[in-house]
Structure 1
Amino acid sequence: DVPVGKHFTVCGDIHGQFYDLLNIFKLNGAPGPENPYLFNGDFVDRGSFSLECILLLLSYKLAYPDSLFLARGNHESRNMNQLYGFKGEVEAKYDETLYNLFCEAFCLLPLAHVINDTVFVTHGGLFSKDGVTLNDIRAVDRDQEPPDSGLMTEMLWSDPMSVRGRAPSQRGVGVMFGEGEVVRLVPRTTYYLDRRHS
């Protein structure tokens, strides 16, 4: 829980942009007990400094385990890493063994966080079916690569749309959801949805 009068920063989609990450800390302050952060996935891929980004975030997590939180994004998976550069970057700078250790660690990251029993934070979005509860989310076997469908995939890949309702995603995985679905599908009606996937 975030104490009343305190702030909590949620960031997402760093995508290997190390200097942008440093700039976030310069502008907003470094993570610590008085300045908690949640990084909501996609720390790696696309940028040239994915390794530096994830190492810095993990270092802060070790230093301040109760002040820095990490969630899994769709780019914390082997398939995406092979396509968008993290695998090649780690193997060029170190070796395949280190890359495999990162993949194991990514599989253990939470798929969602709830802040102050009010804000539901997940990387992608909502679900293709009604009635999903926090217990359903807790029951997901996240220690694996994302499957082709199901709650895990929807939480990593789903996207909002400007019309009401739900529709198949144009990405081919996850689901598109309208504003009305946030009210209907978020596990409790007192929650607000915060997502970062783009």
Structure 2
Amino acid sequence: MMDDFKNQKCLHKRYAFQIVLQMREMLRSQPSLVDINVPDGSHFTVCGDVHGQFYDLINIFELNGLPSEENPYLFNGDFVDRGSFSVEVILTLFALKCMCPSAIYLARGNHESRSMNKIYGFEGEVRSKLSEKFVELFAEVFCCLPLAHVINQKVFVVHGGLFSVDGVKLSDIKAVDRFCEPPEEGLMCELLWSDPQPFPGRGPSKRGVGLSFGADVTRNFLQDNNLDLIVRSHEVKDEGYEIEHDGKLITIFSAPNYCDQVIES
């Protein structure tokens, strides 16, 4: 399938249906916050936004190996939109998850939503490569994606960031009813949309949704939940990553050929 996609061939709709429907069943049974255990001596790869860059995704696998139980990945949201190969990216990630669920974990990003897909290209691409029925099906499956992951009870991985209120516990995130389009405010919205800022406290978001949060907010959240580190995505980084907040927060971006360098990612 991946070789066909490299040669810009399409997958028959029947197989695409099988993959997406199986994915829906698998994701429905997962909690909103997924715990991941990585054994001592093993490694684990977290990837940031891919944004429809299929050839970047292939490049990641060529450099780092295909996902397997011995080589697990977490893709941290924003699989689709902007790039021209969002259908290929999402079907590849879903098919890998169906083949070996413990080899690959998928989190929801702010672009796994109906309103963003309408504006930024995924909806139109799905219509042209698959059908109108798939537009609805993908929207439904995106609502089943978990909102965050915790690796070895120490590393919190989320697409966007932290919250407008103090004292949020991991149990509060687990309790979020995620089976919906992202709301304009509240925990789910902030998990998908927020960004770090270089100064303390909280501020308005440059995006108009979510908020900006400082190193003190990061430190307090980590202390409240006995965590060591936050890994998030959501912003373009020229080097592919950036370490902030006294080393307690890492942003990862995984679409090196991302064409339009804009704030909203």
Could you tell me whether the CA contact under 8 Å between 2:50 and 2:57 is conserved in 1? yes
Give distance in 1, aligned partners of 2:226 and 2:171: 16
Give distance in 1, aligned partners of 2:64 and 2:149: 21
1:96 corresponds to: 132
Q: How does 1:15-164 map to 2 (within 5 A)?
A: 15-164=51-200
Could you tell me whether the CA contact under 8 Å between 2:72 and 2:103 is conserved in 1? yes
Alpha-carbon RMSD: 0.9
- Point out the more displaced range, 18-27 or 137-146: 137-146
Q: String of CA shifts for 1:81-125, please: whole Å, max 9, x gaps.
A: 001000000001111101111111100000000000010000000
1:165 corresponds to: 201
CA apart distance, 1:191: 3.1
Corresponding pairs, count: 198
CA apart distance, 1:189: 3.5
Give distance in 2, aligned partners of 1:189 and 1:4: 19
Could you tell me whether the CA contact under 8 Å between 1:127 and 1:185 is conserved in 2? no
Aligned-partner residue type, residue 128 of structure 1: S
Q: Tell me which structure has the larger Cα radius of gyration.
A: 2
1:3 corresponds to: 39
Give distance in 2, aligned partners of 1:162 and 1:183: 13
CA apart distance, 1:19: 0.2
Runs of 5+ unmatched residues, structure 1: none
CA apart distance, 1:166: 0.9
Q: Percent identity?
A: 62
Instruction: Report runs of 4+ in structure 1 exceeding 3 Å deviation.
Output: none
